[in-house]
Structure 1
Amino acid sequence: MPERADTAALWDLPRAKKPAEGTPKAARKGRPEPAATGPIARIVVDVPLAHLDRTFDYQVPAKSDAEAVPGCRVRVRFAGQLVDGFLLERAATTEHTGRLAFLERVTSGEPVLSARLAALARTVAERYGGTMIDVLRLAIPPRHAKAEAEPARPRASVPAAPAGEGWSRYQRGEAFLDALRGNRQAHAVWQALPGEDWPARLAEAAAVVASAGRGAVLVVPDQRDLARLHAACVAVAGDEAVVALSADLGPAERYRRWLAVSRGSVPIAVGTRATMFAPVADPGLFVVWDDGDDLHADPHMPYPQVRDVLTLRAHADKASLVVAGFARTAEAQLLVESGWAHAVVPSREQLRTAAPRVTPVGEDFDVARDEAARVARLPAVAFEAARQALAAEAPVLVQVPRRGYVPALACARCRAPAHCRRCAGPLALSEGHPPSCRWCGVPEGNFRCPSCGSARLRAVVVGSKRTAEELGRAFPGFPVRTSGAQEVLASVPAKPALVVCTPGAEPVAEAGYGAALLLDGWALLGRQDLRAAEETLRRWMAAAALVRPASAGGRIVVGAEAALTPVQALVRWDPAWHAERELAERRELGFPPAVRMASVEGTPDAVAALLAELALPPSGEVLGPVPLADESRERALVRVPRSDSRALAAALAAAQAQRVARKEPDPVRIQLDPLELI
């Protein structure tokens, strides 16, 4: 039910003063006349309080009748304060019996909140137990008046449909493209071949949809992928039909391009995370590339994930969806096993033709005879693979799990982790400096192990900088380039060189890498994380896909035991098999995505109070609470079967709203389907 706008008792703000008794009527004059038609405006106010997540009724003054269109931005007086809001709809009547306040002004007559986007925001808020205004902050960029006043971008011409011959290498690939041509709804989980020009394949699918008069939204994890995908879409559909959206554009340009999409001038929108809400006209295709990347999970309330939001949009708009990548997540496997999506995968013959040769090397490997290679910790097979690739005038990719020099040290005798004597923080080694604490920064020049008394230290994990230094000595005469947090390379030329990078920062080689060395695999697989195996395989396959096929001499050397499931999946290049096993194990253990799970974090008293008044469905189960690293905070996990997902989100939202309405001093952080569970 719509509420009156001046509900000051619900919000801790000063009340607007009422006219004193006996005030002459003349003093109360100046109240505007309401609009003749649709005098009631239903507003979503920009108030970050869970118990105010609903619309409020205001009167529309006659002078603002033309500007106050559904979807525009407005300013209203709420509990004595001027706040922003969005006008959802105009109505003739209201259920409120008292007198309503008027809109203060229409900030902009641009209808930035369409009915489709408003429905999506409400659906996402309900799925994640958040508020609609939190979703709208993520979906609609801040207004830039100068960009908004510019003439609208001319509507792009309809591009011609490409042939899309590259999809013929995949089972169901041509059938999927035919469905897009015929405006039929199709959902696919696409496993790209190693060495595949995936931006070109996705651009072809988007251009096919645009040629049929519908829109497409394509979302990638980072700026490097966006640059490749945008260039591919421009090459297929033309520059006027494509717009790239990202936070790096700046407020003016970002808003200008977003308006081009909102006004229906551009049918294809490509971009990073926030593009999942891009308001393309008549959407026919949604695509997410590499859905397992943690960059697809928004760190702001209510923490939506790109894959899940695009799934909701595809269902609501009766559009097609592609979940694409070299690897496959358990969530994508669930879409396949449920029958909602079909797997678009290459045949084994195509895989044998395109995949490089993979050689696993465990801990008991033979170190190369070359003394420099021994210092570089290179197995003999890895040293030989790198040497052959360099001799063939091809670059070599070296993936190291950690950045830095030596980010972790341990006792050389008993292998106990080395800690600072002052704050017990971990010791690390920087280039040209003695060991020091990673927490307090104090150097440790006289280490003594408290367990065995040894004064010697050894590296637990060697970082990318130290690895580059060692490889430079192992392969003199060849350049060594690094790609990591401080400088991420987009591409490297087809010349012999050693490219040392951290996972996710692998540059693209012009003609493919001759070899890839995936070092210290145990550091990735040994992480205390539910998704450690899945994430490790995803990172390995992203690097391995950049290597030339085995027929052209491409080699992969992975530093992990051959018996491990992720290693077997890499050797066989079968991420679907790994995803199937991963999903089966999570079903058995009761972990997402087989169930719906929520994380509740806060002080012990706040968590206990929220759990006590949480109206869970009968199937609900509470795990914990347990203390976090910060001992003043605790976390509890709440899980239910997927059939009770909506009930869980609604119960959490209601409990949070009650806490906010009572003005509880200790906040509680609620997150559904968190990436980190351990």
Structure 2
Amino acid sequence: MVTPRPLKLKSPASPRVTQVPAPESAIASIWVDSGVYHLDEAYEYLVPLELTEHVQVGVRVSVPFNKSICEGLVISRGDVSQSTSNLKFIEKVISTFPVATHETIDLFTKVANRFAGTALDVVRSAIPPRSARVEKEIDNTCAPLPKMDFNSSIEEELLKENLRVFWALPPDSSPHRTLALLIVLRARENQVLAIFNDEAELDGVAQEINTLIGTGFYARLDSGSERSDRYRDFLLFTRQQRSIALGLRGAIFTPLSDGATLIISHESSPHFYEPRAPRWNARDVGLLRSTHSHFALILTGFSPSMEVARLLDVGWLRLVQSPSVHIVSASESKNGELIPSKGFSIIRNALKIGPVLFLVPSKGYGNAILCSKCRNIGLCDCGGRLTRNSADALPECSLCKKVIDDWRCSSCGGERIFLASRGIDRFTEEIGRAFPNFPIIKSSGEHILRTVERRVALVLATPGAEPFVEGGYSAVVLLEGNRFFGHASLRADERAREHYFSGASLATAGAAIYISMQAVHPIVAALTRWNPLPMVRRELQERENLGLPPYRRFIRLDVPGDEAQQIFDGISHAQSDNRLPKNLELRPPIIGSKNTGSIHLSVPFEEASVVTAFLQEYQKRRNLSKKELLVIHVDPYELT
């Protein structure tokens, strides 16, 4: 017998509410964050009458999309130009606070096209996560800068309107204090957005601003802040309730008022390169932004990157610098000694006055070992380089971390080890023996000191970890110059120049600077005149002759190894069919370990947009076919 089911009362169906579109600008174009890569174009929606006041360009909204509700960003509003029967209504306005402007929305598209990605990928990097609590708490209170009465050492050129310059930082000063002063002076007239390469520099400049004008006058836009604090400061700055914003690379997209100033500090830093798609870098975004917007652009550093040097060379950027003359000595090690005899007298004399800074190439102890008999390099069975963590430590593989307790040279069978690549720990031992009875201060790796007292001491640091001394060092010693300039990298000279000028800038006025390398090396003359440009121009000329960056757009595709040849053939075929420029240079794939490969392309700047558009379309087709997306690097920091 079938058991009867209990009766249920039928609820009356709710009457369907007929939505009415707004009488004006009833269509909103929206980027919908659907999570599907190839659905990156803008979609049109109807604006309900009851939401028309709140649906503004740059606000977040909820919209129906493929049987679900997705978040979207309003990029424009307009009038009806065709039938709206198939258009859906915006569901709701998530927040009435605009998080983008016409200018930044246009920038998102330009960056996506420049770096062969999607605008939505750029948006995810550019706009901080929302905090509903912050939106309820925020008011219209402004924090105008206090009146300032202090002497300025800033070049007058840097205080002009509508400038585009590279500012070569002066020596004998605190870069943090100098930058803070520039920021505050320019913020008297309009908003200033300053972008820094790391949190330590941001903290240093923030402290100097606090000293100049007090606390509470700037917004802080970095991932180190609490989510709610970052969103609050983002809104305060975009609503022009704060005139100064300090941030890291992601803050480069922050909306700016007309006539504002964008400052990018140490523009050559690798920290400005975003690792997530579409892998833009803050310097190039700033340059792209200044081309299409009305604000001042100031790039800073001790020595310009090759990209900026080219713009200086063609006159797109102007150079602002403070020429000065310095006492620079150099001599080369003849028998493997750490400090040639010429450097000893300089260091001894300096230690009678104050601290001496030693800039060394790397952290660690012995970063490579050689056979002392035949000089064959020591390698692990896995192919990794063998290193030593201390004088008594056994060799250890830098890759698999295997410890070798009975190492023998694979070439001659020798057992004695020669340390070929000394790190700061080894330098500390050797310098301590050479100059006994002096305190030693070390700054590198996980233990970085930002400041030290001005007392007699030996201060050793790796690049970027140099402690600041009020009043400056009595001498600066730049060790193993050939290692700084001898890296197998296209950026080696660029990096070394910035490190050397940065380290030398910490010397007190009139102090000696000693370099352990050949006296004829051009860096010696560059530091003596505090002018890297002659050296930079020579390198630019060499690169132009060879067709290297920054004279062509370089693109690296990281591809699945088993598809590398097929992808290469497809690109070659597209070039044969005139879908890609004839001037595109395509190099055969390089197959690495773990089924990975890479394909390198280069193209003249004026034809690069054709190539990036092709790659954007190619990615969409791969996504539609459910294939793994390629990893595209456009003008990467390193080519390999």
Whether the aligned pair in 2 keeps the contact of 1:216 and 1:283 (CA below 8 Å) is no
| Aligned-partner SS, 1:230 | helix
> Unaligned 5+ residue runs, structure 2?
1-11
Alpha-carbon shift at residue 56 of structure 1 (Å): 0.8
1:640 is matched with 603
Asked whether 1:672 is paired with 2:634, we answer yes
| Aligned-partner SS, 1:461 | coil
Alignment of 1:191-340 (within 5 A): 191-212=168-189, 214-236=190-212, 239-340=215-316
1:345 is matched with 321
Deviation per CA, 1:53-102, whole angstroms, max 9, x where unpaired?
21112233455444433322122332233332212233332646652233
Asked whether 1:397 is paired with 2:364, we answer no
Alignment counterpart, residue 344 of structure 2, candidates 345, 369, 383: 383
Whether the aligned pair in 2 keeps the contact of 1:329 and 1:534 (CA below 8 Å) is yes
Asked whether 1:361 is paired with 2:323, we answer no
Looking at structure 2, the residues matched to 625 and 237 of structure 1 have their Cα atoms a distance apart, in angstroms, of: 57
- Which residue identity lines up with residue 600 of structure 2 in the other structure? L
Whether the aligned pair in 2 keeps the contact of 1:386 and 1:396 (CA below 8 Å) is yes
1:13 is matched with none
Whether the aligned pair in 2 keeps the contact of 1:164 and 1:205 (CA below 8 Å) is no
Larger helix proportion of the pair: 1
2:7 is matched with none
Alpha-carbon shift at residue 120 of structure 1 (Å): 1.6
Asked whether 1:410 is paired with 2:410, we answer no
Whether the aligned pair in 2 keeps the contact of 1:261 and 1:281 (CA below 8 Å) is no
Asked whether 1:658 is paired with 2:609, we answer no
Asked whether 1:558 is paired with 2:515, we answer yes
Alpha-carbon shift at residue 672 of structure 1 (Å): 1.0
Looking at structure 1, the residues matched to 145 and 350 of structure 2 have their Cα atoms a distance apart, in angstroms, of: 46
Alignment counterpart, residue 388 of structure 2, candidates 429, 447, 451: 429
Looking at structure 1, the residues matched to 447 and 367 of structure 2 have their Cα atoms a distance apart, in angstroms, of: 18
Whether the aligned pair in 1 keeps the contact of 2:584 and 2:604 (CA below 8 Å) is no
**TM-score for the superposition, normalised by structure 2:** 0.90
Alignment counterpart, residue 52 of structure 1, candidates 35, 39, 49: 39
| Aligned-partner SS, 2:349 | helix
2:448 is matched with 488
Whether the aligned pair in 1 keeps the contact of 2:581 and 2:610 (CA below 8 Å) is no
Alignment counterpart, residue 493 of structure 2, candidates 525, 533, 537: 533
Does 558-567 or 395-404 show the bigger shift?
558-567
- Which residue identity lines up with residue 245 of structure 2 in the other structure? A
2:504 is matched with 544
1:189 is matched with 166
Deviation per CA, 1:381-420, whole angstroms, max 9, x where unpaired?
333333322221x222222212112121111112111012
Whether the aligned pair in 2 keeps the contact of 1:41 and 1:87 (CA below 8 Å) is yes
**TM-score for the superposition, normalised by structure 1:** 0.85
Alpha-carbon shift at residue 573 of structure 1 (Å): 3.0
Alignment of 1:24-63 (within 5 A): 30=16, 33-37=19-23, 38-63=25-50
Looking at structure 2, the residues matched to 365 and 88 of structure 1 have their Cα atoms a distance apart, in angstroms, of: 66
Does 144-153 or 236-245 show the bigger shift?
236-245
Looking at structure 1, the residues matched to 370 and 579 of structure 2 have their Cα atoms a distance apart, in angstroms, of: 46
Deviation per CA, 1:189-246, whole angstroms, max 9, x where unpaired?
211221234444444443443333x211111212222123223444555545422322
Alignment of 1:120-159 (within 5 A): 120-152=107-139, 154-157=141-144
Looking at structure 1, the residues matched to 580 and 629 of structure 2 have their Cα atoms a distance apart, in angstroms, of: 24
Question: How many residues matched?
Answer: 621
Deviation per CA, 1:116-150, whole angstroms, max 9, x where unpaired?
22122122222212111111111111112222221
Alpha-carbon shift at residue 592 of structure 1 (Å): 1.4
Whether the aligned pair in 1 keeps the contact of 2:115 and 2:279 (CA below 8 Å) is yes
CA 1:632 to 1:624, structure 2 compared with 1: closer, same or farther past 3 Å? farther
- Which residue identity lines up with residue 407 of structure 1 in the other structure? N
Alpha-carbon shift at residue 527 of structure 1 (Å): 1.6
- Which residue identity lines up with residue 609 of structure 2 in the other structure? R
| Aligned-partner SS, 1:555 | strand
CA 1:103 to 1:629, structure 2 compared with 1: closer, same or farther past 3 Å? same
CA 1:483 to 1:520, structure 2 compared with 1: closer, same or farther past 3 Å? same
1:498 is matched with 458
Alignment of 1:154-193 (within 5 A): 154-157=141-144, 165-167=152-154, 173-177=155-159, 179-180=160-161, 185-193=162-170
Looking at structure 2, the residues matched to 616 and 566 of structure 1 have their Cα atoms a distance apart, in angstroms, of: 45
Does 319-328 or 605-614 show the bigger shift?
605-614
Whether the aligned pair in 1 keeps the contact of 2:157 and 2:320 (CA below 8 Å) is no
Which runs of at least 4 in structure 1 moved beyond 6 Å after TM superposition? Answer: 161-164
- Which residue identity lines up with residue 270 of structure 1 in the other structure? L
2:422 is matched with 462
Alpha-carbon shift at residue 460 of structure 1 (Å): 1.2
Does 570-579 or 400-409 show the bigger shift?
570-579
Deviation per CA, 1:648-667, whole angstroms, max 9, x where unpaired?
3323222222322333x232
- Which residue identity lines up with residue 172 of structure 2 in the other structure? G
Looking at structure 2, the residues matched to 82 and 382 of structure 1 have their Cα atoms a distance apart, in angstroms, of: 70
Alignment counterpart, residue 452 of structure 1, candidates 412, 419, 425: 412
2:58 is matched with 71
Deviation per CA, 1:635-657, whole angstroms, max 9, x where unpaired?
22222222223333323222222
| Aligned-partner SS, 1:166 | coil
Looking at structure 2, the residues matched to 416 and 635 of structure 1 have their Cα atoms a distance apart, in angstroms, of: 30
CA 1:596 to 1:42, structure 2 compared with 1: closer, same or farther past 3 Å? same
Alpha-carbon shift at residue 328 of structure 1 (Å): 1.9
2:471 is matched with 511
Alpha-carbon shift at residue 176 of structure 1 (Å): 4.3
1:597 is matched with 554
- Which residue identity lines up with residue 22 of structure 2 in the other structure? A
Looking at structure 1, the residues matched to 118 and 336 of structure 2 have their Cα atoms a distance apart, in angstroms, of: 58
1:575 is matched with 532
Looking at structure 2, the residues matched to 437 and 468 of structure 1 have their Cα atoms a distance apart, in angstroms, of: 23
Deviation per CA, 1:410-464, whole angstroms, max 9, x where unpaired?
11112111012x4232211123531122222222121111211211111111111
Alpha-carbon shift at residue 365 of structure 1 (Å): 6.0
Whether the aligned pair in 2 keeps the contact of 1:41 and 1:58 (CA below 8 Å) is yes
Whether the aligned pair in 2 keeps the contact of 1:330 and 1:580 (CA below 8 Å) is no
- Which residue identity lines up with residue 350 of structure 2 in the other structure? A
- Which residue identity lines up with residue 156 of structure 2 in the other structure? E
Looking at structure 1, the residues matched to 601 and 347 of structure 2 have their Cα atoms a distance apart, in angstroms, of: 49
Looking at structure 1, the residues matched to 252 and 271 of structure 2 have their Cα atoms a distance apart, in angstroms, of: 13
Looking at structure 2, the residues matched to 576 and 112 of structure 1 have their Cα atoms a distance apart, in angstroms, of: 40
Alpha-carbon shift at residue 470 of structure 1 (Å): 3.1
| Aligned-partner SS, 2:329 | strand
Does 538-547 or 58-67 show the bigger shift?
58-67
